[in-house]
Structure formats: C-alpha cells, structure tokens
Structure 1
Amino acid sequence: MTDQAPHGGSRVLTAARAVSFAEATSFLLLLIATGIKYGADHPQGVKILGPIHGTLFLAYCALIGYLAFAGRWPRRRTVLALIASVLPVAPFFVERHWLRGDAGLAGGTTPPAGPGSRPVSRPAARRS
C-alpha cells in the first residue's frame, strides 16, 4: 500500500487491524483468567486483564466507527463489526476479511465483472 488514503487512512487501517487482533486475544485471555478466578480462586488475572481488555474494546469500537464513517461502510457491515466486539473470536474475522488492504476505507467490495468481460491488457511497449 504505497498510496495513502486521505487523512492518514492507511495508518488508521493498520491501527484497526492491530487493535482488532489485540482485542480478540485479550478477550480470550480474559475468559481463561475468569475461569482461573472462579476455579482456583486466583482473581489477579482478571484484575490485570480486565482494564486492558476494556481499553482495547473501546478502541476497537471507536476505530470501527471511524472506518465505517470514513469508508462509507454499509450499515450491515458496521453493525456486524460492532457485534463482533462482544464475541470471543469474531474480531479475528473482522481483521482478516474487512480490515485488510483497502477494504477498510473503500467499503471492501469490488463490483463484479460483467458477463463476458475480460481483464484489460496493455500493449507491450516498443523498444527503440
């Protein structure tokens, strides 16, 4: 990605990918820590991971909101990406399928080619 989207979109997209991955990972770790808290009576993991996950959750929601607005995402995609924040592994899906490349700022959908259309090839340049 050499061309930058307006207003630092490339940086925002990179941050959204990182936060999405971190938020999903912290959620899984928090679930494990919760099991340890109640199963082995060790609440330290939840005390540490709770605020970290909470911060990542808020950052994820804010970045999804920004990308949805700036990239003019369809409402369905925006709602699904926000619902993904409360499911343990769903942000991994969002990062993989909606936040890669230009998908985050360009809506992520490329119109399908029409029937009978072929890729356009350029003629080879002549050497002089």
Structure 2
Amino acid sequence: MLFTAFRIAAIVEGITTLALFFVAMPIKYMLHDPLWVQIVGPLHGYAFLLYIALMAVLMRKAPWTNADVIRASLASLIPFGTFLNDGAIKRRWQTAQAI
C-alpha cells in the first residue's frame, strides 16, 4: 500500500513538473498570462511535498542506500526524473520484500 502510494505520488509529481515547465511557464512568459502558473505551481508544490514525505517513510520500511535517496531526490527535481527512477524504486522494494 505504501509503495503504491509512493509510486502514484511520483507519477503525479512528474506530471505536475512537466505541466509547470512545458505548459504553465511558457504560457506565462510567452502569452503574459500568469494564471496557469498560479494553478499548476501550488499543485506541483503539494505533489512534491507528498513525494518527499512518502519517500522518507518508505526508505525506513525498505532499507535505501544513500545513492537511492540521492537518486530519488534528484529525480523529483528534473523533468521525467520520477518516471525514469520508477524502475529502480520498484527493484529496491522487491528486494526489501524478499528479505
């Protein structure tokens, strides 16, 4: 359940990052309409906070290495990062469940 919640949070965080960078910000700066950033920005902020909170809980349940924490943290900061990190997180969870 926790792992599924984290993966969903990662997907939402990734989608809101892409929406912010590739939709809202171009509209703001090219069309001079800040409304999209005012809507998508806070959604992304809440998704990011949820991602970090669930990551902190999950790394206690499944023993993460420092590299895992750094990779997951950096993944939340770059477009497509959470999507690319999903396979590594899934493998880490499966390894922890096998122990």
TM-score, L = length of structure 2 = 0.87
Kindly indicate whether structure 1 or structure 2 has the higher relative contact order, using CA contacts under 8 Å at least 6 residues apart: 2
* Same amino acid, percent of matched pairs: 31
2:74 maps to 1:83:
yes
Structure 1 residue 105 displacement after superposition: 6.6
1:57-112: per-residue Cα shift (whole Å, max 9, x none)? 00101111111121111111111101111111100122233136xx337448x8xx
Match of 2:10 among 12, 17, 20: 20
Structure 2, unpaired ranges of 5+: none
Aligned equivalents of 2:94, 2:59: Cα separation in 1: 8
What is the count of residue pairs matched by the alignment? 97
Instruction: Report runs of 4+ in structure 1 exceeding 6 Å deviation.
Output: none
More helix by share: 2
Q: Is the 8 A contact 1:73 1:107 kept in 2?
A: no
Q: Secondary structure at the match of 1:99?
A: helix
- Larger of the two Rg values belongs to structure: 1
1:16-42 CA distances to partner (integer Å, 9 max, x unpaired)? 111100100000001121111010011
Q: Does 1:74 find its partner at 2:50?
A: no
TM-score by length of 1: 0.69
Match in the other structure for 1:125 = none
Q: Check the 8 A contact 1:34/1:46 in 2, yes or no.
A: yes
